[in-house]
Structure 1
Amino acid sequence: MNMHHLLSATAIVAVCATPAVAGEEIIYEEVPSWVVAPDLDAAMEKDETLVLIDRQVRMEDGVVHDYFDVAIKMENPQVVTQLGTPQLQWQPDKGDLRVHRIQIIRDGEVIDVLADGTKLEVIRRERQLESRLIDGMLTGTMAVPGLRVGDVLRMSHSTTKRDQALDGEMQVLQGILPEPMEMGYGRIRVSWPEDEPMRYNATRDFALAEPVIEDGYKVLSVEFPIPELDEMPDDAPRRYRMPPLLQVGTYDSWRELSAQMATHFTTEGTIDPEGEIAAKIAEIEAKTDKQLERAALALQIVQDDVAYHLNGLDGGNYLPQSPEDTWELRYGDCKAKSLLLLAMLREMGIESEAVLVHSSSGDWVPDMLPMPGNFDHMIVHAVIDGEDYWLDGTNAGVRLATIGEVPPFFNALPLRPEGAELMPMTQRWPSVPDRTAVVEIDHSAGFDYPAMFSIDVTLEGTMATRLRDPAEESDREKVLDFASNFARNLVGTNFVKDATVTFDEDSGQARLEAEGVTYSWWEFERGRAKLTPYVSSNDFGFSPDRARREWRDIPYQSGGPVRWREDLRIELPQGDVAYDLRGVEVREEEIAGTRISRSATLDGASLRVQSDKAEIPVEIPASAFAENRRAASRLGSGDYVVRVSEGAKRYWEYSAEEAERLMAPMEAALDAYVDTDPDEASRHIRRAEMRVFTYDYAAAAEDYTRAIELEPSATLYNQRAQAYANAGEWDLALDDALYAYELQGDVATALNLAAIQAEMGDVDTALALLEEFELGGDERATLAQVRAEYEGEAGRPEAGWAMLEDVLLERPGDSELLNSQCWHMGTWKYRLDEAEAVCTEAVQASQYGANVLDSRAMVYYRNGDYDKAMRDIDAALRSEPSLAASRYLKGLILIEQGKTAEGRREIAYAERISPRIVRQYERYGISSAK
């Protein structure tokens, strides 16, 4: 267990007071008489790392005395390093730290670390300054002398606390630790005078035993760990997923808590009539007489002109600093910002009040006892023209357009002099989109080619503030990288050649404009093209997991609030293409906390999709699941998609000249992308990968060369070797493959090297290289298939066949091995009279896989049965039109049949897909040179 887990295990929110004088010096004294000692020997017998964690709390006369007794076994040097310098913390403005024992238990002997007068060093160290928090904590620390592996370190200390804000009220919160957490012994024990009214409960339906009376005190006790909690679905409301919590407190009601806390948030007389805040209010009132506009302007001032900074000193965890102090300091926490905003709103006659909320678990609050520790945040509730507005001074970027959004806090406790009950924060649909995106995609070049894109995105409210820093960034490369990452959700994988980011302080709007290249949006299913637009309303689903019977009544929690709007315009590939737009228009359909509107039009080759999707955090009861599932299924089945019934021209159907012309805009964008940072290897690699579309393998090799200069690796040498081979530079390809193998020496680099050696006619060297590897499993099968190929090329097809037979004994019926046998028989004309049966078995085992059909076609070709060969080839190409081997063989058969022009065209296609296909088939003794 690390220190973080230990501190979490003992975490508490407590209010306390003490008759002793609070101070900054540690008090050393015996264990308090009211503490009941645990059985340490029994705890140690369990031999757990966490031997003991015992917390005992005495609540009396408005004082919370908090005693901790922790023992941890130093199981290894890491634990000694991590926990051998313990740190004890306390807030001196609220109470004292008392240290009772620091002991080392070694082989049954107890060593008193404090016996010789050793003391902890007191330091003030603000642990959360980077988060703009000053909590006022002091820390007592000590490097425990002589601690070693195998020791048990035991520390006992207590704190007393009185919070200046609570007027003697008390509260204790403690997580109830469940299995599988392991410990020798664990306990929380809370006591108070039997005649003092006290409320207590435990969440998550944990059954508490009734308090017992001991020496005039009621005692409530829970031992740890309790049985493991039932697992909860991830999409359940937060209260279902929180750990059980023990609460003990003196507050009688939410009204009592509200009224008490309200005394600290009065605004009368807090603004100097001659001061700067009053001047700001006067400026606002001069600009507009509309209360909502005034509220928005006041909120902007509090959000933007006052930095967030928590000051926990002198009761600052609950007590706010004054508005004038906040304005003078130009910083404050949620309480200070809320009080400043509240004072400004009330000065302008706007009905408003401070409210307490929990920022992450607000739906849990109604299940809790009333106490301040249930809340971790404060905002302002205003009522304007009969509408509720929830104004968070610690937020940023909120303006008039977005002021109506309701944060996902679920419940609020208004602070009123007369007291108040919890108030639900009723959600409303966002009135404006948080993100509005106009996206243009130019896919006119072709179905396989990348596409030029441009985006123009406007962000509102809090979402807009994420662009504040990028808008001020002067490093162009960083701006382009930011734009590319941002664009990923709109256009997919991309690179950006130009971008601008702006942020307008007055409107709170941010704008991102970018241009670049995205990869093809088209997918192919059995050779048919399909495009699915990137819009937020597509691919909507509602499928809460409630398969477990015990989950069936648990509600679903939706997300938000957020709203996206997209206007997507795509220019589709030109030519004699038949497009079919499918999908269902939706007008403000609400499903499971989501509201969707969308429409689409297809005008020739121009597609436009408009989509608006909003989400708000609401609970969907289990009784409504079936209805929402059906609605989501209907919506999902109506997603927009464009299909091509005929006329989809693939990249290999374009000549080099045509491809160069079509790719020219993308090439220019690639060049600009690389030029932005020519010293970044990944940019050269991306451009090299794009060269496949223009068949410019020499240029690809140049890019790999630059990438290797910047970040050399075996992978890059292998990639350049392939580029050289495709460009016909075989000696250079061999050099790179050899060097990659020297660098990495694994089977992958060996196979790459062997392939190039074999293609250069040095088959024996390739075989000798691969014989060095003794592999198992999938790698053994792969190696056998490759070696069989080379044995056939070396004129020893029977040796290759024996290798395949050998691995088939280990993996009978393996479709890949059966396919290798079929291919072996066809390419090397080995046992051709038996080949059709072997190939048919392979075809059936692969469920008519395209590559296996291609292998059987080779056998039919060798046997002169061109009709059967063509049937298999056509079936293979219907499934995988880019299968170069099938196109090449089809071209050969067409030429044999006298259809020379058609055959040459298919061979040209094959060479564009695989530049080395002709060389490959010549090794089989098959040539197209007729």
Structure 2
Amino acid sequence: MRLNLFITALLVACLTVVKAQHKNLSVASTPSWLVPYQPDMDKKPDERDISEGYYLLLFEEQHHVEKAAVYRHIVRQIISEAGIQNGAEISVTYDPEYEKILFHKIVVRRNGKEINQLQPSRFKFLQQEEELSRFIYSGVYTAYFLLEDVRKGDQIEYAYTLEGNNPIFDNKYSSFFYLTSYDPVVNFYKSLIASPARNIRFKSFNKARLPEKENINGMQVYQWKETNIKPLESAYHTPGWYFDYQLVQASEYNDWGEVINWGARINTVSAPGNALQKKIAELKSESASSKASYMQKAIRFVQDDIRYMGIEMGEYSHRPNTPDKILLQRFGDCKDKSQLLTQLLKANGIFASMVYINTYRKGHVADYLPAPDIFNHVIVYAQLDGKDYWIDPTISYQRGDLSQITVPDYQKGLIVNPEGAKGFTDITNKAYGKTTVTEHFHLPSETTNKGTLEVTSTYYKQFADLQRDELANSSLKDNEKAYMEYYRKVYGKISVDTPLQIKDNDTANQLAVRETYILEEPWKQDSSAAGRVSFNPYAGVLKDVLPASIDKERKEAPLSLRYPVSMDYRIIIEMPTELPLEGEEINIKNRYYSFYFSPSVNGRNAILHYKFETYQDYIPADFIATYLEDRKKIDEVLGYNFTWNPDVSSSSPGGNSGGLNWLIIALTLLFAGIFYYQAQRYYKRSILPVQQPLYPREMNGWLILLAIGICIRPLVLLFQLFKTPVFQNNLWQHLDQVKNATGNTSLLQLLLIVELAGNVFFLTYSILLIFLFFKRRDTFPVTMVYYFVFNFLFLAADQVTFYYIYELTTWDPADTKDLVQLLVAGAVWSPYLLMSGQVKETFIMPHDSEINKY
């Protein structure tokens, strides 16, 4: 009997240590150290929260610090066929270098019965290496278990323990506790079990509840118990550092100084070996006595000649390899390359230190409790001749001198220097660059002919570095194809005219790319009018850098803003003939971004000029409503519609703006004749009795200033009259296409004719004033005052009508400026002309016909 019991016990013990494919996976009984937890298995979630055909009836997770173990117990409830597809597999990710999996249970419950499916041989082990595309090899495995015969209504329960800690952290604890899930959870429990001797601190994010503290069996236990956890909703278009789910951080580190000391310990380098000594000597020889040259050569060597590849297994997830090993193998990850560069710089008396950063959390990393596992990247901080340098050794193809070295918008870093600051340091980029893009279209005079597009893009400083790296990682042919496809999506059939041309100025760190295409069918038939064609340029390059246009539902979330961005973008459309270009200048600027748009015409060239710049990496939630309003204005000018009717305008590329409108010219001459006749009649009038003797006072003082203004005014009016497109056929032919003027074409025509008559009237009037002034005519003062009054009233009425026709709601400051200037001029000069003794003694001459009567 005793022998049988012994044999049974031995068999059970053997079963609990069966290995599965030698990947550190075993079957074992449930740990005895677990804190008792009793879930309510009769509860159900809100059915509206279930999206994949199943929910979690139970999610239990217990951490034991002293045993370096994490226990998870999960119960899935399958409620539909979709749940069979999405919830019938189990996966556990772990690092076999220091972790092992102990599976305790895999059962399927159906109709009150339990079906045991835990068979170690059915586990599949995949080394997915999700970061291999980033040249990172971590050695992490995923153990997959595919359940058999899963049906609608089944309940899947499994439990396992992960044992083992990364030895690099010296058994000091830090972790994150996520109080949420992507699936709805009915019973949610997490606990942390630790010795009372450990001083573990907690920090809550997004109003997460801090754990309840209790002493159980001599251990300090921290617990979270929740029911009906809502599924996590993904936040789109938010910056990488933002999250809105509840999170609690736990850490045993007292301050950032401890993390710095830990970093200094694992980054300590013994005496340089032969490979490192040889490289140091080589760099010194090439640089003579110039430390700046040495530093630049060292940076270029590590960035360009040491390829990026990380084997981050076990403690080498955080410990760098030795510089000699990196030199010999000629590859390394961020910490390896930073270690090598740091040692190279130190060897020539240049201060250098490694810097820990978080590329997602950026400056917000300082909001967390001190912990070494919060960082995901390493760069280098150096000092030379009193100047600070931030260097990312993983960036390739950086050019220019030391002053042009930049790093991405990391914001804050922890310098691994025990003698330095005990906290974070701001990472500043001083060499901001920009991008300029010019798209020059040449449109044919024959609508069936081909056109051309020439694109010139120039990148400066960090934007040149990025573009240089992008071009280097693909063939010229592939780049050519990608660029052409980009424009093909907007302009239809196009083909490459000349091969892609790249001009790289290493010294100035500027890179220019020139593309030339043939537009097979630039003109498109306009369905709204017979014989009319259209061309629709679109500012696609600018659209790509603008932040997303989102709805207003997520009012609490910030909007991600690409930073830094500084773009100067021009679209030049060379027309067969000069066409009117409607549109207003837009100038938006705030503390987050600026946008500028200006449409203009230079002969046959229509120019759409855009500028966009960002000042930080996000738009706060309380400013998004303003951004959406700004975005509406921006979207309205990203695309443009040029129309042309070649049948009724000159089709010659050298033509005179589509031909003159002789009817308007004749009307102008008629207006001029009428106003000239009236001016002659008015000139003969006199308002003062003839005085004897007729000796007017000499011109001096303020009258000299007035004389200058009176003489210049006709030239200004004449220039403005000839500059206006009212004499061109194209203006009258396209009035029906004027933005916001649809349905008001007749009123717009009337306004243009009235404006023309007014301009001719005031031109004639200003010439009359010159004659009256220099003849010292008695009618000059009152005629000049009337000029101010008539001019102000005409301009005000013209602008009011203009705003009505164009349905504008915002008054242009430039229009207000014109009215104010005219009003001020009238207010200053009118009293002087009517009351000044000098004026009364100067302007006394009647018309000659009045003098001859005496």
Distance 1:497 1:183, change over 3 A: same
User: What is the rounded CA distance, in whole Å, between the counterparts of 2:601 and 2:368 in structure 1?
Assistant: 56
Matches within 5 A, 1:410-489: 410-418=411-419, 420-428=421-429, 431-433=432-434, 435-443=435-443, 445=445, 451-459=451-459, 460-473=464-477, 478=478, 480-487=480-487
The structural deviation recorded for 1:323 is 1.9
Distance 1:343 1:611, change over 3 A: farther
Q: Deviations over 1:512-537 (max 9, x none)?
A: 33222454599999999998784978
The structural deviation recorded for 1:67 is 0.7
Q: What TM-score do you get using the length of structure 2 for normalisation? A: 0.61
- Amino acid of the structure 2 residue aligned with 1:203: F
Distance 1:481 1:192, change over 3 A: same
Contact 1:338 / 1:354 at 8 angstroms: preserved in 2? yes
User: What is the rounded CA distance, in whole Å, between the counterparts of 2:74 and 2:544 in structure 1?
Assistant: 52
* Residue number in structure 2 paired with 1:93: 97
Matches within 5 A, 1:883-898: none
* Residue number in structure 1 paired with 2:350: 350
Matches within 5 A, 1:306-317: 306-317=306-317
The structural deviation recorded for 1:312 is 2.3
- Amino acid of the structure 1 residue aligned with 2:160: H
SS of equivalent residue, structure 1 residue 155? strand
Unaligned runs of 5+ in 2: 1-21, 48-53, 655-731, 739-854
Matches within 5 A, 1:682-721: none
SS of equivalent residue, structure 1 residue 515? strand
- Amino acid of the structure 2 residue aligned with 1:650: N
RMSD of aligned residue pairs (Cα, Å): 4.9
* Residue number in structure 1 paired with 2:34: 35
Distance 1:388 1:572, change over 3 A: farther
* Residue number in structure 1 paired with 2:110: 106
The structural deviation recorded for 1:108 is 2.2
* Residue number in structure 2 paired with 1:605: 604
* Percent of aligned positions that are identical: 18
User: What is the rounded CA distance, in whole Å, between the counterparts of 2:579 and 2:146 in structure 1?
Assistant: 78
Contact 2:583 / 2:599 at 8 angstroms: preserved in 1? no
The structural deviation recorded for 1:415 is 1.5
- Amino acid of the structure 1 residue aligned with 2:259: L
* Residue number in structure 1 paired with 2:337: 337
SS of equivalent residue, structure 1 residue 71? strand
Contact 1:501 / 1:512 at 8 angstroms: preserved in 2? yes
Contact 2:591 / 2:615 at 8 angstroms: preserved in 1? no
Matches within 5 A, 1:44-83: 48-60=54-66, 63-73=67-77
Contact 2:123 / 2:143 at 8 angstroms: preserved in 1? yes
- Amino acid of the structure 2 residue aligned with 1:107: N
- Alignment of 1:497 with 2:496, yes or no, is yes
- Alignment of 1:561 with 2:561, yes or no, is no
Unaligned runs of 5+ in 1: 1-22, 663-874, 882-930
User: What is the rounded CA distance, in whole Å, between the counterparts of 2:627 and 2:330 in structure 1?
Assistant: 48
User: What is the rounded CA distance, in whole Å, between the counterparts of 1:283 and 1:650 in structure 2?
Assistant: 71
Contact 1:113 / 1:144 at 8 angstroms: preserved in 2? yes
The structural deviation recorded for 1:142 is 4.5
SS of equivalent residue, structure 1 residue 258? helix
Contact 1:55 / 1:69 at 8 angstroms: preserved in 2? yes
* Residue number in structure 2 paired with 1:516: 517
Contact 2:275 / 2:328 at 8 angstroms: preserved in 1? no
Distance 1:86 1:182, change over 3 A: closer
- Amino acid of the structure 2 residue aligned with 1:70: I
Q: Deviations over 1:36-67 (max 9, x none)?
A: 3544671687695433221110112xx53111
* Residue number in structure 2 paired with 1:650: 645
Q: Deviations over 1:181-202 (max 9, x none)?
A: 4234222211212332111122
User: What is the rounded CA distance, in whole Å, between the counterparts of 2:457 and 2:412 in structure 1?
Assistant: 33
User: What is the rounded CA distance, in whole Å, between the counterparts of 1:642 and 1:550 in structure 2?
Assistant: 32
SS of equivalent residue, structure 2 residue 576? coil
Q: Deviations over 1:249-268 (max 9, x none)?
A: 21111221122122122356
- Amino acid of the structure 1 residue aligned with 2:31: P
User: What is the rounded CA distance, in whole Å, between the counterparts of 1:521 and 1:398 in structure 2?
Assistant: 44
The structural deviation recorded for 1:608 is 5.6
* Residue number in structure 2 paired with 1:193: 195
Matches within 5 A, 1:198-597: 198-224=200-226, 238-267=240-269, 269-270=271-272, 272=274, 277-278=279-280, 281-282=283-284, 285-286=287-288, 289=290, 291=292, 294-384=294-384, 386-400=386-400, 403-418=404-419, 420-428=421-429, 431-433=432-434, 435-443=435-443, 445=445, 451-459=451-459, 460-473=464-477, 478=478, 480-487=480-487, 495-498=494-497, 499-500=499-500, 502=502, 511-518=512-519, 519=522, 534=539, 551=556, 558-566=561-569, 568-574=571-577, 577=578, 579=580, 584=585, 591-594=590-593
* Residue number in structure 2 paired with 1:761: none
Distance 1:235 1:30, change over 3 A: closer
SS of equivalent residue, structure 2 residue 439? strand
User: What is the rounded CA distance, in whole Å, between the counterparts of 1:137 and 1:50 in structure 2?
Assistant: 26
Matches within 5 A, 1:124-135: 125-128=127-130, 129-135=132-138
Contact 2:302 / 2:340 at 8 angstroms: preserved in 1? yes
User: What is the rounded CA distance, in whole Å, between the counterparts of 1:880 and 1:91 in structure 2?
Assistant: 67
SS of equivalent residue, structure 1 residue 592? coil
User: What is the rounded CA distance, in whole Å, between the counterparts of 1:386 and 1:147 in structure 2?
Assistant: 68
Contact 1:24 / 1:92 at 8 angstroms: preserved in 2? yes
User: What is the rounded CA distance, in whole Å, between the counterparts of 1:34 and 1:389 in structure 2?
Assistant: 51
Q: Deviations over 1:728-785 (max 9, x none)?
A: xxxxxxxxxxxxxxxxxxxxxxxxxxxxxxxxxxxxxxxxxxxxxxxxxxxxxxxxxx
Contact 2:545 / 2:562 at 8 angstroms: preserved in 1? no
The structural deviation recorded for 1:620 is 6.1
User: What is the rounded CA distance, in whole Å, between the counterparts of 2:37 and 2:57 in structure 1?
Assistant: 11
SS of equivalent residue, structure 1 residue 52? strand
User: What is the rounded CA distance, in whole Å, between the counterparts of 1:522 and 1:427 in structure 2?
Assistant: 53
User: What is the rounded CA distance, in whole Å, between the counterparts of 2:635 and 2:57 in structure 1?
Assistant: 57
Instruction: Select between 51-60 and 263-272 the one with higher mean Cα deviation.
Output: 263-272
The structural deviation recorded for 1:413 is 1.7
User: Greater Rg, structure 1 or structure 2?
Assistant: 2
Contact 2:184 / 2:231 at 8 angstroms: preserved in 1? no
User: What is the rounded CA distance, in whole Å, between the counterparts of 1:228 and 1:74 in structure 2?
Assistant: 17
User: What is the rounded CA distance, in whole Å, between the counterparts of 1:88 and 1:543 in structure 2?
Assistant: 36
The structural deviation recorded for 1:611 is 5.7
User: What is the rounded CA distance, in whole Å, between the counterparts of 2:234 and 2:129 in structure 1?
Assistant: 33
User: What is the rounded CA distance, in whole Å, between the counterparts of 1:448 and 1:534 in structure 2?
Assistant: 24
SS of equivalent residue, structure 1 residue 86? strand
Distance 1:138 1:351, change over 3 A: same
- Amino acid of the structure 1 residue aligned with 2:415: P
Distance 1:335 1:94, change over 3 A: same
- Amino acid of the structure 1 residue aligned with 2:371: M
Contact 1:87 / 1:139 at 8 angstroms: preserved in 2? yes
Contact 2:188 / 2:225 at 8 angstroms: preserved in 1? yes
Q: Deviations over 1:410-445 (max 9, x none)?
A: 322221224744435455465332x33343221353
- Amino acid of the structure 2 residue aligned with 1:51: L
User: What is the rounded CA distance, in whole Å, between the counterparts of 2:404 and 2:397 in structure 1?
Assistant: 10
The structural deviation recorded for 1:231 is 8.4
SS of equivalent residue, structure 1 residue 42? coil
The structural deviation recorded for 1:318 is 1.2
User: What is the rounded CA distance, in whole Å, between the counterparts of 2:410 and 2:227 in structure 1?
Assistant: 31
User: What is the rounded CA distance, in whole Å, between the counterparts of 1:317 and 1:390 in structure 2?
Assistant: 23
- Amino acid of the structure 2 residue aligned with 1:314: G
Matches within 5 A, 1:643-682: 649-651=644-646, 653=648
Matches within 5 A, 1:863-902: 879=736
User: What is the rounded CA distance, in whole Å, between the counterparts of 1:379 and 1:512 in structure 2?
Assistant: 30
User: What is the rounded CA distance, in whole Å, between the counterparts of 1:349 and 1:185 in structure 2?
Assistant: 60
Q: Deviations over 1:786-826 (max 9, x none)?
A: xxxxxxxxxxxxxxxxxxxxxxxxxxxxxxxxxxxxxxxxx
* Residue number in structure 2 paired with 1:696: none
SS of equivalent residue, structure 1 residue 263? helix
Distance 1:581 1:385, change over 3 A: farther
